Structure 1
Amino acid sequence: MRINPERPERDDETTGKCILFPRCFVMSFFPSAFFLLTFFLPLTASAESDRLSLRDLIQEALKSSPEILSAQAKTKASEFKIPQAESLPDPMFMFGYQNEGFERYTYGESPDAKWMFSLSQMFPYPGKLSLKGEMTTRDTEGQKAFAEALKLRNVSNVKSLYYDLFLSYRDIDLIREKTALFERIEEAALSRYSTGMAMQQEVLMAQTEKYMLMEREEMLKQKIESTGAMLNAAVGREVNAPLSRPDELSPSVFNQNMEQLLSLAVEKSPELKIKQKMLASSEIKERMAEKDYYPDFTVTGTYEKRSGGDFLDMWSLTTAFNIPLFYKSKQRQAVYEAKANREEAVYELEGAKLMITSAVRDNYSMMKTAERLMELYKNGLIPKTYQDFEAALAGYIAGKGETLGVITRLKSLVDFEMLYWRQFVEREKAIARLDALTGTTGYGVEGVNQ
């Protein structure tokens, strides 16, 4: 097709498309601006009333999650162990009858015939009961810390699944938006093919890429189903309970630096509190093992009832205690065992500190990397790639370039946009994990991304 020099801005009479590159490039500025506005608009959009709220999911999980409810019940049960541990053993009551011979009942006839009653009580060596109660208290505190850690892990898991669900919906939106752009390429290829300027292969290539996007959309729909099922299970709902689309999210505000996070993790992490309570309990067990060198006492009071008359009633008060005669093979070995268990608890605490501080550093690094990549995609790669695509498409419509070049640019644009939202989600997940590690989220209710 020839271009009339007297009509430098003539449209293609067949397709109605602009065939001059400069004009199309200038006109592409407006769709480019519109594209950037619509792409980043969800970052500041307010949540719709019928959307799935992360705050509500967290509240529901704290009330309905079987794991959390089980841990709370176990904590409550452990509190009832404290008064039991501090109580004396049950007293023993004994009664019986002593008769002389087997011929007849001789009570009242023989001085040796009598009814007998006794009551005995075992008293641990002073200090043992208090140590036992203190050890049970430390175990209960450890169980409370475990329940707290479980809550934080559950909240972090709910957040992670929620963000995965959000990402799947966002990717579907992007695919549908870019399918329209592939249709523009297909229309241009059909136009060029109808005028003999392109081969049928270019049309088929554009159509194939469009159908490949549709395939990705179906795979994302399946991912939404599986993620929704896992989210329902984490919250405590039936697996098939319906879930609406998540709210539009904006980047969470996070102003803490590495030093603050490490300090908070060491101070407030429930995982560390569990290990600290285990260490405290092992120290008390060592002291209890040392107390076992000393004997326990059993006091017994006995009353013997005889028939009266010349046969006076009798009573007795006795004390019995165990002798740690085999202390070398029993009590001493128990002390060695308790010391070894205490050393194990010390090393476990140190290992937990290293693991948690390492996890804090790792997630903080992931969060910062995601922020830098988001900035790169948002202000660099995405707008430049879109402009490059529009220019290539305008040139292709004008009869310049090949379909492969336009398709490659559009695929790069799709990839960069998806990578932006993937980094957005990775940043939110890293923040959720940091909250769980430092124990500072208030279960994710305050400051939840709406």
Structure 2
Amino acid sequence: MRFFFRLMPAFLLVGLFMGPGVTARAGDRQPQGEERLEALVDRAVTGNPEILASEEQWRMSVAQARQAGALDDPMLMLGVQNALIRDPFNFSRDAMTSKVVGISQKVPFFGKRDLMREEAGLESEVERWAVEERRLELRRLVKETWYQIYLIDRSLETVRTSAILLDDLVRQAESMYTVGKAGQQEVFQAQLERSRMEELRLGLEQRRASAIAALNALVSRPPDTAIPPIAPIKLRPRTLVAAELERLAESQRPAVKALQAKIDKGRAGERLARKEFYPDFTVSLEYMQREPVDDMRGDDMYAAQLTFNLPVQQEWRRAKAAEMQASIRMAVQERAALRNQIGKAIADGLAQLERSRKLALLYEQGMLAQAGGAAEAAMAGYRTGKATFAEVLAGRVNLFNAEREYHGAVAEHQIQLAVLENVIGGPLPPPR
């Protein structure tokens, strides 16, 4: 909305000649506008390329989680034992010569595989909530852009109304100049303001085209896709309580759930690191086939083994456990910081929401009518020669300021609702 404040001088010049009728329109088409907005939001959160890429990243982590804790492939061993070098391919010359087939399998210590799967699953859970957080942010961006377009539409509506009034004023000034009741400078000034209004209209249309292109990019459709003018909005009363919003944020905000998953992942990793102090095992079984030699039958034989590593290297194991403990503490502090941010954002959002609501009601219920009446009185006095052209301009400035503040307050109110939805991670409680 900053560009509106940069264009403030031009707005003031245009708004001098506005009538009070623009603001009096009711928001009878608001449900239709809301339906269009929700359709755009749904399209964005399901088809935006960044969201789709994030979903694929999450699917990758899910596939990686399925790989965790899997056993190593068993090892097959084929060999000859106790063969004679002078006759290496004759297996019946010595009773100790045997053909060997063996298989071995490495087995982690009890509980390690489960912890590996748990840790990897929690990592994919973090990715899942990250996708949901991006969706939440995208919803906010779509709604903010929508209400920026809404404010531009109201400004363009004001410009069109002002054009009609200003054309009348130019004709009035020319008529009064021909009969000697007004100076030529008043005619020139009225014509200059009409030209400046046209300049403002062109600027607003360019701003609207840019905002529409930004919105279309968010919802993944061609940038020149048209968006019809957004109907006026009628504010509806809401009662929002900070404590209730904080509870909702704690239960449904994806970022909070992602940090909780990181904490749980760190705890699983710490338990897994402590399991590293215990050995892993390798189980092997061999079958030895022997040929009969002379009067020896050549009985077959087997061998079974159980081997395990000796976990005597303690330093890296302790360092691994310390790493996991640090990751838990980090995630806990990140969650605490996020809760502080959420509390502050809710408090600020509610304060700005209340300010914009009260400001809109103040202008809607009194100041717009007062400013409009003053402007009309100055215009009537100018026609009869009882008011100067400067007084007409001053009356229109006051009316425009009221119109600008009213539409700005309505747009800010709706944007703050979208911001609060983003903060708590979901829809706001319904109006009571």
TM over 0.5: yes
Aligned-pair CA distance for 1:251 = 2.3
Structure 1 match to 2:274? 290
Quick one: which of 24, 28, 33 aligns to 1:44? 28
Structure 1 match to 2:62? 79
Q: Secondary structure at the match of 1:43?
A: coil
* Contact 1:100/1:112 (8 A) holds in 2: no
The letter of the residue matching 1:126 is F
Aligned-pair CA distance for 1:231 = 1.0
Q: Secondary structure at the match of 2:303?
A: strand
Q: Kindly tell me: are residues 404 and 112 of structure 1, through their superposed partners in 2, closer, same or farther at Cα, counting changes over 3 Å?
A: farther
Q: Secondary structure at the match of 1:40?
A: coil
Q: Kindly tell me: are residues 117 and 244 of structure 1, through their superposed partners in 2, closer, same or farther at Cα, counting changes over 3 Å?
A: farther
The residue correspondences of 1:116-131 to structure 2 (distance < 5 A) are: 116-131=100-115
* Contact 1:370/1:427 (8 A) holds in 2: yes
RMSD: 2.7
Identity of aligned residues (%): 26
Aligned-pair CA distance for 1:126 = 1.2
Q: Kindly tell me: are residues 308 and 430 of structure 1, through their superposed partners in 2, closer, same or farther at Cα, counting changes over 3 Å?
A: farther
Task: For 1:206 and 1:100, locate their aligned partners in 2 and report how far apart those are by CA, in whole Å.
Answer: 117
Structure 2 match to 1:88? 71
Q: Kindly tell me: are residues 348 and 198 of structure 1, through their superposed partners in 2, closer, same or farther at Cα, counting changes over 3 Å?
A: same
Aligned-pair CA distance for 1:48 = 6.6
Structure 2 match to 1:182? 166
Unaligned runs of 5+ in 2: 1-17
How many equivalent pairs are there?
A: 410
The letter of the residue matching 1:342 is I
Summarize deviations over 1:327-385 as a string: whole Å, max 9, x none: 0x211111111111111111111011111111111111111111111122222332221
Task: For 1:185 and 1:286, locate their aligned partners in 2 and report how far apart those are by CA, in whole Å.
Answer: 79
Instruction: After superposing the two structures, state which structure 1 stretch, 65-74 or 365-374, moved more.
Output: 65-74
* Contact 1:166/1:246 (8 A) holds in 2: yes
The residue correspondences of 1:364-403 to structure 2 (distance < 5 A) are: 364-403=350-389
Q: Kindly tell me: are residues 195 and 120 of structure 1, through their superposed partners in 2, closer, same or farther at Cα, counting changes over 3 Å?
A: same
The residue correspondences of 1:404-415 to structure 2 (distance < 5 A) are: 404-415=390-401
Quick one: which of 302, 320, 326 aligns to 1:340? 326
Q: Secondary structure at the match of 2:78?
A: strand
Structure 2 match to 1:317? 304
Task: For 1:44 and 1:380, locate their aligned partners in 2 and report how far apart those are by CA, in whole Å.
Answer: 21
Q: Kindly tell me: are residues 346 and 435 of structure 1, through their superposed partners in 2, closer, same or farther at Cα, counting changes over 3 Å?
A: same
Task: For 2:209 and 2:62, locate their aligned partners in 1 and report how far apart those are by CA, in whole Å.
Answer: 41
The letter of the residue matching 2:345 is A
Q: Kindly tell me: are residues 91 and 104 of structure 1, through their superposed partners in 2, closer, same or farther at Cα, counting changes over 3 Å?
A: closer
Task: For 2:286 and 2:24, locate their aligned partners in 1 and report how far apart those are by CA, in whole Å.
Answer: 89
The letter of the residue matching 2:194 is K
Aligned-pair CA distance for 1:37 = 5.6
* Contact 2:22/2:161 (8 A) holds in 1: no
Aligned-pair CA distance for 1:181 = 2.1
* Contact 2:19/2:162 (8 A) holds in 1: no
Aligned-pair CA distance for 1:303 = 2.5
The letter of the residue matching 2:362 is L
Summarize deviations over 1:272-312 as a string: whole Å, max 9, x none: 11111111111111111111111111111222334455444
The letter of the residue matching 1:85 is A
Task: For 1:222 and 1:392, locate their aligned partners in 2 and report how far apart those are by CA, in whole Å.
Answer: 34
* Contact 1:47/1:247 (8 A) holds in 2: no
Structure 2 match to 1:64? 47
Structure 2 match to 1:430? 416
* Contact 1:125/1:296 (8 A) holds in 2: yes
Structure 2 match to 1:301? 285
Aligned-pair CA distance for 1:221 = 0.9
Summarize deviations over 1:20-78 as a string: whole Å, max 9, x none: xxxxxxxxxxxxxx9656523242346679x9811221222233222333333333443
The letter of the residue matching 1:273 is K
The letter of the residue matching 2:114 is S
Task: For 2:96 and 2:152, locate their aligned partners in 1 and report how far apart those are by CA, in whole Å.
Answer: 92
The letter of the residue matching 1:245 is P
Q: Secondary structure at the match of 1:303?
A: strand
Task: For 2:232 and 2:56, locate their aligned partners in 1 and report how far apart those are by CA, in whole Å.
Answer: 36
* Contact 1:206/1:407 (8 A) holds in 2: no
Aligned-pair CA distance for 1:136 = 2.3
Q: Kindly tell me: are residues 308 and 429 of structure 1, through their superposed partners in 2, closer, same or farther at Cα, counting changes over 3 Å?
A: farther
Q: Kindly tell me: are residues 400 and 284 of structure 1, through their superposed partners in 2, closer, same or farther at Cα, counting changes over 3 Å?
A: same
* Contact 1:392/1:406 (8 A) holds in 2: yes
Structure 2 match to 1:201? 185
Aligned-pair CA distance for 1:104 = 5.7
Aligned-pair CA distance for 1:396 = 1.4
The residue correspondences of 1:322-333 to structure 2 (distance < 5 A) are: 322-327=309-314, 329-333=315-319
Instruction: After superposing the two structures, state which structure 1 stretch, 166-175 or 232-241, moved more.
Output: 232-241
* Contact 1:174/1:414 (8 A) holds in 2: no
Task: For 1:266 and 1:52, locate their aligned partners in 2 and report how far apart those are by CA, in whole Å.
Answer: 28
Q: Kindly tell me: are residues 215 and 111 of structure 1, through their superposed partners in 2, closer, same or farther at Cα, counting changes over 3 Å?
A: farther
The letter of the residue matching 2:189 is M
